[in-house]
Amino acid sequence: MSTPTQRIVSGMRPTGPLHLGHYFGVLVNWVALQEEYDCLYFVADWHALTSEYASPGRIKQFVPELVMDWVAAGLEPEKCTMFLQSQIKEHAELQLLFSMFTPLGWLERNPTYKEVKGELEGAKDLSTYGFLGYPVLMAADILMYRPHLVPVGQDQLPHLELTREIARRFNFLYTPLFPEPQAKLTEAQKLPGLDGRKMSKSYGNAIHLSESMEQVTPKIMSMLTDTNRMRKKDPGNPDQCNLFPYHVLMTDAGKRTEIVSGCTQATLGCVDCKKMLLESLGAFLEPMRARRVELENNPRRVWDMLEAGNRKAHEQALETLTLVRERVNLEYKELSALRS
Ligand code: TRP
Ligand code: SF4
């Protein structure tokens, strides 16, 4: 009487250490989903290459780092499949086949494309075929595993819409094969950076999941709080304070009520409030750090995890590709396959 487990696919680009913004924005959902769904999570190294093609060495270095961040954050290889995109060559074949019938207009109109290209223009030349085709590769990543749901941030919604359009077009041109995967948006848990802007590596306002309390402490202690509150005897307003969102996500509700009343009634000073936050952060980061250190001392385990994940993903990918090749008349039963 069991309904089959629904499948989930998502990926992240290996372009740097993960920070609290990534954790509360996406990763916390990934961790929860592995309990209930058949989850495939992959390191999107080909995607990283679409914009970082001139520095491929950096990407490789971040591949094991990303997996360590995932495991530190709570992904477990027994509960989900973690794999490395570039090792599953079927993604490239599927992208190629999708590219045959994806109208250029769909790609050129893509708001993420226009936005990111504009942002990075000057720094990098992104007038490339690969960068324009990024959403087609993403559609291949997703549809390969014929998932029900894709947990992504708001910024990825246009890409997911394109994925559905590509699925529909394939199903219309050939025989129906692909489901139309839906976005799994969980209520966005916003965590601004240390300076109140969006948390981002490039702003230098982030706390990384791999940081020690020695590294975190000075960052928290120097944060700007409610700027209208010059002295402890001035009442403060948590809603005007960069620090308070951190308490919202990391400090338990009881203590948080104390903080709000202490702040608004001018009985709690910002320094003490920061110390309370450091306690919460410690309780949050230390277990992550312990899991990470274990892997750092045993790097082979990271690669073994990926290898096991690659094997599982590859099996699924081959199954899909076999069906796709049949539909596009590229199944040559007359020829024996080359080994690859
Ligand atoms: N485009 C995503 C990002 O930049 C990464 C990604 C690539 C992805 N392929 C995917 C996410 C497939 C979900 C599903 O974050
Ligand atoms: Fe912010 Fe805490 Fe200071 Fe209030 S007491 S302004 S919440 S740091």
pLDDT of residue 244: 96
237 and 127 within one domain: no
With respect to residue 1, please indicate whether it lies within any of the assigned structural domains: no
Rounded-to-integer distance, Cα 231 and Cα 214, Å: 27
For residue 328, report the distance from its CA to the centre of ligand 1, in Å.
26
**Is 143 close to ligand 1, i.e. is its CB under 6 Å away?**
no
Residue identifier of the C-alpha nearest atom 6 of ligand 1: 11
pLDDT of residue 340: 60
Counting atoms of ligand 1 from 1, which one is nearest the CA of 159?
1
For residue 151, report the distance from its CA to the centre of ligand 1, in Å.
10
Instruction: Give the strands of the sheet with 182-183, arranged side by side.
Output: 80-84, 38-43, 7-12, 149-150, 182-183
170 and 23 within one domain: yes
The ligand placed nearest to the CA atom of residue 10 is 1
144 and 67 within one domain: yes
258 and 158 within one domain: no
For residue 10, report the distance from its CA to the centre of ligand 1, in Å.
6
pLDDT of residue 201: 85
306 and 255 within one domain: no
With respect to residue 280, please indicate whether it lies within any of the assigned structural domains: yes
Residue identifier of the C-alpha nearest atom 3 of ligand 2: 270
With respect to residue 325, please indicate whether it lies within any of the assigned structural domains: yes
With respect to residue 204, please indicate whether it lies within any of the assigned structural domains: no
Is the CB of residue 221 less than 8 Å from the CB of residue 66? no
Task: Please count the structural domains in the chain.
Answer: 2
Token pair, residue 321, equals 């590709």
170 and 306 within one domain: yes
Token pair, residue 129, equals 């075929």
The ligand placed nearest to the CA atom of residue 259 is 2
Token pair, residue 136, equals 């087609």
Q: What is the pLDDT of residues 246-286, one digit of tens each?
A: 999 999 999 999 999 999 999 999 999 999 999 999 999 99
Location of structure tokens 């802007």: 197
151 and 281 within one domain: no
For residue 44, report the distance from its CA to the centre of ligand 1, in Å.
7
CA distances from 21 to 149, 180, 200 (A): 22, 29, 8
The ligand placed nearest to the CA atom of residue 274 is 2
Q: Range of 248's domain? A: 213-294
Counting atoms of ligand 1 from 1, which one is nearest the CA of 12?
5
Residue identifier of the C-alpha nearest atom 11 of ligand 1: 11
For residue 334, report the distance from its CA to the centre of ligand 1, in Å.
37
pLDDT < 70 regions, the chain? 1-3, 187-188, 340
pLDDT of residue 295: 96
pLDDT of residue 2: 60
Location of structure tokens 């950096």: 58
Could you tell me which of 118, 96, 25, 88 has the C-alpha nearest to residue 309?
Answer: 88
How is the chain split among helix, strand and coil, in percent rounded to 5? Answer: 55, 10, 35
pLDDT of residue 230: 86
Pairing of strands 38-43, 80-84: parallel
pLDDT of residue 1: 52
269 and 157 within one domain: no
> Any idea what the CATH number is for the domain that residue 250 is in?
1.10.240.10
Residue identifier of the C-alpha nearest atom 7 of ligand 2: 238
With respect to residue 201, please indicate whether it lies within any of the assigned structural domains: no
pLDDT of residue 333: 87
Rounded-to-integer distance, Cα 112 and Cα 259, Å: 39
The domain boundary, picked from 276, 294, 312, lies at 294
For residue 102, report the distance from its CA to the centre of ligand 1, in Å.
18
122 and 109 within one domain: yes
For residue 275, report the distance from its CA to the centre of ligand 2, in Å.
11
252 and 116 within one domain: no
Count of all residues that appear for the chain in the document: 340
The domain boundary, picked from 294, 309, 330, lies at 294
> Any idea what the CATH number is for the domain that residue 35 is in?
3.40.50.620
Phi, psi of 83 (to 5 degrees): -140, 170
**Is 150 close to ligand 1, i.e. is its CB under 6 Å away?**
yes
Counting atoms of ligand 2 from 1, which one is nearest the CA of 274?
8
247 and 98 within one domain: no
Is the CB of residue 327 less than 8 Å from the CB of residue 143? no
Location of structure tokens 């590294």: 215
**Is 11 close to ligand 1, i.e. is its CB under 6 Å away?**
yes
**Is 141 close to ligand 1, i.e. is its CB under 6 Å away?**
yes
For residue 11, report the distance from its CA to the centre of ligand 1, in Å.
5
Classify 201 in phi/psi space as left (phi over 0), alpha (psi -120 to 50) or beta.
alpha
With respect to residue 206, please indicate whether it lies within any of the assigned structural domains: no
**Is 40 close to ligand 1, i.e. is its CB under 6 Å away?**
no
157 and 74 within one domain: yes
Buried b (16+ CB within 10 A) or exposed e, 85-97: bbbbebbebbbeb
